[in-house]
């Protein structure tokens, strides 16, 4: 048994309060800096069927593409760089690879290519990198980060050819890869897709109606009476459909609803899963703000965005690690008066949210 299994992994929760009307609000930048999102969950108290405008926004989330066994050197293809990387924001991520055990790749919307490699692969590649911040063994992983938009990486240049030769002739790195592009979509990716086995996917939407729900009492935007950790734990339980009606005879869960609490006659939980772009999350937030402006029984709504557990990057270009946990998420609790509470959470092996 590992000697540290009895130790509680470090976690970090950053909370702030502000208003969407405040010119110093950081919501837009926070949403944009979480590049690789796999799930968005929304909780609407005292809501029955999904409001039509909200449903329309959810169904308009961008498609994404799964390329099977993509040779990573193809991301350096001149035509792909010119039609996609240089013309907008490309979001690309190796699929079903474990960042603490396998080679992982991310292509960020600013044109930066990030390779998280084991020691042997890094040495074979022969390109400059640095040791991972989250090595659980001495220098067992390395990170190579390259700006494909930099003049030194222009096709035909020395840096470009060195990386291309390393990926094509020495490392032979292939992986399933999910890819999306804003604003061009599939048209800007066609030159790359046409050469490989690929499939298009729509984000999956699920709805869950809740009844007689014990809920923390949030009559105003003042959350002094409710600990953020307890509230987020309750919110996660609702999303996972775990009961917080704990009893002495229950051995499945010790979760309870934070005090003070109230009872909601009904609530709607909606989740979207896939490779979700920040631009779509922005539109969803704006729609929820419009929803809250209408007179209703409850004056708040929550939105939680989960980053990919095995992405080599999380906040901005910061390195992400797993080993234990792998959380990188944020929750936005919005109120009818345009105020909000933003909670950013990371696990034991992650950089601090900006």
Per domain, the residue ranges of the chain are 12-61+203-346, 64-201
**Global pTM?**
0.89
Closest C-alpha to 347, from 315, 300, 302, 303: 315
φ/ψ (deg, to 5) at 52 = -60, -40
231, 223 in Cβ contact below 8 A? Answer: yes
Measured CA to CA, the distance from residue 289 to residue 28 in angstroms comes to 14
Q: Could you please report the per-residue DSSP string of 195-250?
A: TS-EEEEPPEEEEEEEEEEEEE--SSS--TTS-HHHHHHHHHHHHTT------TT-
Closest C-alpha to 182, from 60, 96, 328: 60
Measured CA to CA, the distance from residue 261 to residue 258 in angstroms comes to 6
φ/ψ (deg, to 5) at 50 = -65, 125
Q: Which are the contacts of 128, defined by CB distance < 8 A and separation ≥ 6?
A: 144
Q: Which are the contacts of 286, defined by CB distance < 8 A and separation ≥ 6?
A: none
61-to-58, 182, 205, 220, 283 alpha-carbon distances in Å: 6, 11, 10, 31, 9
φ/ψ (deg, to 5) at 69 = 50, 60
pLDDT of residue 297: 65
Cis peptide bond N-terminal to 260, omega within 30: yes
pLDDT of residue 165: 96
Residue whose token pair is 């084991």: 118
245 alpha carbon, distance to own chain's centre: 30
334, 340 in Cβ contact below 8 A? Answer: yes
pLDDT of residue 250: 55
Q: Could you please report the per-residue DSSP string of 61-99?
A: PPPEEEEEEEEGGGGG-HHHIIIIITTSEEEEEESS--T
Angle, CA 14 vertex, CA 9 and CA 16 arms, to 5°: 165
Measured CA to CA, the distance from residue 10 to residue 39 in angstroms comes to 23
pLDDT of residue 77: 95
Tens-binned pLDDT, residue by residue, of the chain (354 aa): 444 545 555 677 888 889 999 888 889 988 999 999 999 999 999 888 889 999 999 999 999 999 999 999 999 999 999 999 998 899 999 999 998 889 999 999 999 999 999 999 999 999 999 998 877 667 788 999 999 999 989 999 999 999 999 999 999 999 999 999 998 788 889 989 999 999 999 999 999 998 888 888 765 555 555 678 888 888 888 887 777 666 555 555 667 777 777 788 888 999 999 999 999 999 999 999 999 988 876 789 999 999 998 899 888 788 887 766 677 889 999 999 999 999 988 876 676 676
125, 166 in Cβ contact below 8 A? Answer: yes
């Amino acid at each position: 048994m590992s000697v540290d299994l009895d130790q509680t992994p470090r976690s970090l929760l950053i909370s702030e309060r502000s208003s969407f009307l405040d010119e110093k609000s950081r919501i837009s930048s926070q949403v944009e800096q979480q590049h690789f999102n796999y799930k968005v969950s929304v909780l609407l108290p005292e809501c029955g069927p999904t409001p039509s405008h909200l449903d329309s926004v959810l169904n308009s989330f961008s498609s994404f593409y799964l390329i099977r066994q993509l040779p990573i050197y193809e991301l350096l293809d001149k035509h792909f760089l010119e039609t996609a990387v240089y013309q907008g924001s490309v979001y690309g991520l190796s699929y079903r690879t474990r960042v603490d055990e396998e080679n992982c790749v991310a292509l960020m919307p600013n044109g930066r290519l990030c390779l998280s490699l084991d020691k042997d692969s890094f040495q074979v590649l022969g390109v400059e990198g640095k040791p991972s911040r989250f090595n659980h063994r001495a220098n067992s992983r390395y990170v190579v980060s390259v700006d494909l938009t930099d003049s030194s990486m222009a096709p035909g240049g020395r840096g470009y050819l060195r990386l291309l030769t390393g990926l094509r002739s020495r490392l032979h790195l292939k992986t399933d890869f999910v890819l999306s592009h804003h604003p061009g979509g599939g048209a800007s990716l066609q030159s790359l897709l046409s050469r490989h086995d690929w499939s298009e996917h729509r984000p999956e939407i699920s709805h869950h109606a809740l009844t007689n729900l014990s809920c923390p009492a949030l009559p105003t935007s003042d959350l002094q009476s409710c600990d953020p950790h307890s509230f987020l734990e309750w919110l996660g339980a609702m999303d996972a459909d775990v009961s917080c009606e704990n009893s002495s005879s229950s051995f499945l869960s010790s979760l309870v609803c934070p005090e003070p609490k109230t009872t909601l006659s009904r609530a709607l939980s909606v989740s979207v899963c896939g490779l979700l772009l920040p631009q779509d999350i922005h539109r969803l937030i704006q729609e929820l703000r419009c929803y809250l402006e209408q007179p209703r029984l409850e004056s708040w709504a929550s939105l939680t965005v989960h980053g990919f557990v095995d992405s080599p990057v999380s906040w901005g270009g910061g390195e992400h690690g797993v080993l234990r946990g792998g959380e990188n998420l944020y929750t936005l609790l919005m109120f009818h008066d345009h105020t909000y509470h933003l909670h950013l959470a990371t696990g034991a092996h992650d950089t601090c949210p900006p």
